[in-house]
Structure 1
Amino acid sequence: MAKSRNGLLGVGGQRKKLSRAEQQGANPARNDDRKAAEEKKQELVRKMRERAAAAEAAPAQDAPAES
């Protein structure tokens, strides 16, 4: 029969408790990438809203006035 390894509990010192993000490899560079991506997204949304507002305003200006 194979020996059980359960008797090794605590051998090797203590480990630092890692958060879920740290376990998955999150680091400052990754956080910077996320911020850059969020800024790009916000800029794109702003541009799209400006274009949509301009498209709505243009037909109203081009329409002939009825009197």
Structure 2
Amino acid sequence: MAKSRNNLLGVGGQRKKLSRAEQQGAGPARDKDRKAAEDKKQELVRKMRERAAAAAEAEPEQDAPAGS
């Protein structure tokens, strides 16, 4: 028996589940929220690195007088 060409069930990728807001056209707002959250995270990481670098610079200065 030949394989049916009309049965395309299961062919292709899965479709993304849309939230109620996205179904109503609020998809771009979610993307903006994600972008804002990513920007906040990057800013926090930058501040933490600056603090860590400042702390690393301060440690050798404290050790030098104690060793003299």
TM-score normalised to structure 2 length: 0.57
Determine which structure has greater relative contact order: mean sequence separation of CA pairs < 8 Å that are 6+ residues apart, divided by chain length.
2
The alpha carbon displacement at 1:65 in A equals: 7.5
SS in 1 for 2:44: helix
Flag structure 1 segments of 5+ consecutive residues without an equivalent. 1-17
> Residues of 1 paired with 2:62 and 2:43: CA distance?
29
The aligned counterpart of 2:29 is: 29
The aligned counterpart of 1:60 is: 60
Structure 1 residues 26-46: Cα deviation after superposition (integer angstroms, max 9, x where no partner)? 411110000000000000001
Flag structure 2 segments of 5+ consecutive residues without an equivalent. 1-14
Over the residues paired in the alignment, what is the CA RMSD in angstroms? Answer: 2.1
- Is residue 45 of structure 1 aligned with residue 53 of structure 2? no
Aligned residues: 48
